[in-house]
Every structure is written in C-alpha cells, then in structure tokens.
Amino acid sequence: MKKIVFLALISAMPAGAIESGAQFLKIDTSARAVSMGSAYTALSDGINSIAYNPAGLSSAGGLELCFSHTNWLLDSTHDFIGVALPVAGMSRQPAAGPLVMGLALARLSNSAMEARNADRSAGGSFASYDQALSVGLARQAGRYRMGIGIKYVESVIAGISARAGAVDLGLSRDFRRLPVTVGLSVQNLGTKMRYISQKDPLPLTLAAGLAVNVIPGVSFVFDIRRLVYDREMGISFGTEYAVLSGFALRTGYMADNAGAKPAISGRNGFSAGAGLNFWSTRLDYSLTPYGDLGSAQKITLKKSF
C-alpha cells in the first residue's frame, strides 16, 4: 500500500519537477508579490519578506500580523500566517535599527486523493499536506539590511511523512542619492526530504533583485533566480502604480528556461492585482492564470500596530 501511495505522489507532480522535493516551497505567500511577477527580492518588507528575502524583516517598525489565503490548483488551498516584531533595542552603531524577529507558517492542503491496492482495487482515500515553519531575524545597519531565516519543512501523505531543515539568508541595500534598492537571497539551503527510499534535495534558490522608484507612486521591480538542483534560470519583472492615495494597481510577468517544466513558482506568463492601504492595514489581491489548469486567486491581509 505504501508503494502505491508513493507512486501516486510522484504521478501527481508536474512533469520534470522532481529534481528537488518540497515543491510547495516555490508557491508565493504574498498577493503583492504575485501580482508583480514574484519579483520581490529587493522590494520585500515586513513579515511577508520571510519567504522571499529575510533582510526585509528589518523594516517592521512595530508589531505586524499577516494572513494570506490562496485558492490553489486541483482543489487545494495554500495559507500563510505570520507575525513580526522588534525584540531588541537600537544598536550602538550609528543608523542601526532594532533587531526584528519573524515567525511564520505556510501550509499547502491538498484535496483527498484515491488510493489503490496492489491489485488496483479501490483502497479508500487519503489526505496530504505540506508545511513549513519559519523563524527569522533581521537588522538594518546604515543603508544595509541583513537577515537570516531557519525553517522546518514537513510533507505528509497518508500518514507517511518526510522532514527537512533549511536556512535562508538575505541582504538588501538602498542608495542615498538614487531611488534604487538591490537585494540578494539564498533560500532553502538544507537537508534532503526522504519519502520511504526516495531522497530529494530542497529547491535551493539563488536570487538577485532590483527595485526602482521611477517617479513618486510608480515602481519597477526585476528579479533573476537560479534553482540549483532543478537547473532552471528564471526572470520576472513587474510594476506598481499608486493610482490614488492608499490604492495601487500592479502587474507582472515571469518566465524561465525550464521548457516543459513549470516555472519557478509553477507558472509562466502574466499576473495582475491591486492593493488598498487603510488604518495601518494593507489588503492585497492577485489573479494568476494557469492555462488549462484554471487560475489561482490570492488575498493577503497585513496589519501593523
């Protein structure tokens, strides 16, 4: 029975996507990021940055709470909940900010799957889920922001589980005389996931990003990424336009060289969305088409105190 379940898992994965395991780690956790083509390495801020560039955690000036929900593909759902807050005072170094800590949980819950016995007869159904618990620390020193994240990754299918640990590293810098921010990150540097006898590395990702405030209210972002074990290169770019005070429109595009493989976050093509800021609260929405698979809608709510 275990072998049948394992084969069902492999067959459920997109073609060519098994160079690395824990594919759910590629799914975005922020609607703002999705709507700009996932080009978020330089622009990420607050608790949302824990999944993109942990250096962005340092921008949380106080307590932040965030919740994100996605109607994902094949009747599955993806959820993210996180909290960030300063945990230590200002450094003695000039222009150094407080130490900020973030805690987040991302979870992909899949719809029930039908199990088959060795003779191909019906064996009932089974549930599966994937989740990652992350803890991050970040601090700003002058024009630089530095961060580190540690995550525990778990996948469970019909009671069979796989676990791994990983580290994320991030750095970003803005410039005094230029409206430019650059960012660098290393994600999912860790141990292998093991299902029964199958071992797969986590999707190790190297990313570099650029964010430019073209004119007041208009921003342009660009990312380039390398998935080491999947042997993929991807680029993404997007724009954000503040139409009115507190309201923004966004669009973006992602592409990679994976051929028949899925893109870095499981897609190639355009995305779009909008955001609304009110009462220290940011509400973001994104829509991403996936061709014959349908579309994914994500909503993110973040509150600052």
Our count of domains for the chain comes to 1
pLDDT in tens, 72-83: 887 889 999 999
Report whether 188 contacts 51 (CB < 8 A): no
CATH of the domain at 265: 2.40.160.60
Q: Do 233 and 207 form a contact (C-beta atoms < 8 A)?
A: no
- Looking from the CA of 64 toward its CB, the CA atoms found within 13 Å total 31
Q: How many C-beta atoms lie closer than 10 Å to residue 163's C-beta?
A: 13
* Residue 124 pLDDT level (bands cut at 50, 70, 90): low
Residue 33, SS3 per DSSP: helix
Alpha helix stretches (DSSP H) within the chain? 2-12, 31-35
- Predicted confidence at residue 224, as pLDDT, reads 96
Helices then strands, counting H and E runs in the chain, come out as: 2, 18
With 80 as the cut, is the pLDDT of residue 121 above it? Answer: no
Q: Is the pLDDT of residue 10 over 90?
A: no
| Domain with 34 in it | 2-304
Residue 223: what are its φ and ψ, rounded to 5°? -130, 150
In tens, the pLDDT along 226-280 reads: 999 988 899 999 999 998 888 999 999 998 765 444 444 445 689 999 999 999 9
What b-and-e string marks burial along 178-214, b requiring 16 or more CB atoms within 10 Å of the CB? eeebbbbbbbbbbeebebeeeebbbbbbebebbbbee
